[in-house]
């Protein structure tokens, strides 16, 4: 595994380092397996594409994308989450430990596409995150980002301990930030309803856009 930056120890890294070993066995993770085919139907990828998976974790999304493309860079701050991915042995997935904000756009990419599942709500400054993602795309490159619609905090429950900075997102607000970051044709669709062990179901959105 490559290390791009020194990663600060935060609630987010502490939480995911501890969660890594059992991540793929969680009922929630198993439901999330449905994300990849739906995302790919909305944003088809080419065999020559180089793709960034932001907040890739154990590679639930990256592993389904990798067989279809040339290369996937799996960026995550959690060394333990990426170790689980590394152990899966995908030849064309490059696990990269680092913080998205500490990467120089020229050091990576540019990417043909950026995907992400359930990582946006762990980043405090969404506007800066979308600018960073846009900077890593080639002109004409595309993003497909999955996260929670605005919720009441019950999805994670202990939000602070899990490094949760946003209780989901309102599409209009996220669209405005994406457009300010230079992305165009921003569109939202519900991609999945996940059943939580608390008995409730939570809708997830897919946001697609491209860099002109």
Ligand X SMILES: C[S@@+](CC[C@H](N)C(=O)[O-])C[C@H]1O[C@@H](n2cnc3c(N)ncnc32)[C@H](O)[C@@H]1O
List interacting residues with ligand X (CB under 6 A).
Answer: 12, 16, 29, 32, 55-57, 60-61, 75-78, 81, 99-100, 117-119, 122-123
Q: Which CB sits closer to ligand X, 76 or 112?
A: 76
Nearest distance from C-beta of residue 9 to ligand X, angstroms: 12
Task: Give one DSSP letter per residue of the chain, joined into a string.
Answer: -EE-SPPP--HHHHHHHHHGGGGGGSHHHHHHTTHHHHHHHHS---TT-EEEEET-TTTTTHHHHGGGSSEEEEEES-HHHHHHHHHH--TTEEEEES-GGGS-GGGS--EEEEEEES-GGG-S-HHHHHHHHHHHEEEEEEEEEEEEBS--STTTSSTTTTT---S-B-HHHHHHHHHHTT-EEEEEEEEEEEEPTTS-EEEEEEEEEE--
Q: Nearer to ligand X by C-beta: 22 or 185? A: 22
Contact present, 181 and 130 (Cβ < 8 Å): yes
Closest listed residue to residue 126, CA positions, set 98, 101, 106, 109:
101
The nearer residue to ligand X, 80 or 178, going by C-beta atoms, is 80
Nearer to ligand X, 21 or 185 (CB): 21
Residue 168: CB minimum distance to ligand X, A: 13
Q: What is the smallest separation between the CB atom of 102 and ligand X, expressed in angstroms?
A: 8
Closer residue to ligand X (CB): 29 or 175: 29
Please say which residue, 2 or 184, places its beta carbon nearer to ligand X.
Answer: 2
Shortest distance in whole angstroms from residue 93 CB to ligand X: 13
Compute the least distance from the CB of residue 212 to ligand X, in Å.
Answer: 25
Least distance to ligand X, CB of residue 38, Å: 13
């Amino acid at each position: 595994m490559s290390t791009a930056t020194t990663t600060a120890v935060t609630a987010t890294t502490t939480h995911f380092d501890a969660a890594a070993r059992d991540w793929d066995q969680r009922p929630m993770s198993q439901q999330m397996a449905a994300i990849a085919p739906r995302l790919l139907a909305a944003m088809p990828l080419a065999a020559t594409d180089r793709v960034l998976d932001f907040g890739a974790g154990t590679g639930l999304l990256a592993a389904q994308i990798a067989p279809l493309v040339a290369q996937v860079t799996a960026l995550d701050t959690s060394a333990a989450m990426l170790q689980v991915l590394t152990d899966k042995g995908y030849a064309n997935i490059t696990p990269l430990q680092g913080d998205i904000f500490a990467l120089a756009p020229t050091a990576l990419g540019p990417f043909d596409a950026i995907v992400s599942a359930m990582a946006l709500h762990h980043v405090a400054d969404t506007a800066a995150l979308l600018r960073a993602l846009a900077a890593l795309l080639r002109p004409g490159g595309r993003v497909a980002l999955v996260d929670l619609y605005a919720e009441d905090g019950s999805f994670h429950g202990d939000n602070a301990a899990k490094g949760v900075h946003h209780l989901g997102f309102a599409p209009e607000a996220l669209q405005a930030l994406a457009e300010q970051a230079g992305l165009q044709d921003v569109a939202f669709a519900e991609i999945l309803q996940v059943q939580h062990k608390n008995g409730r179901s939570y809708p997830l959105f897919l946001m697609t856009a491209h860099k002109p």
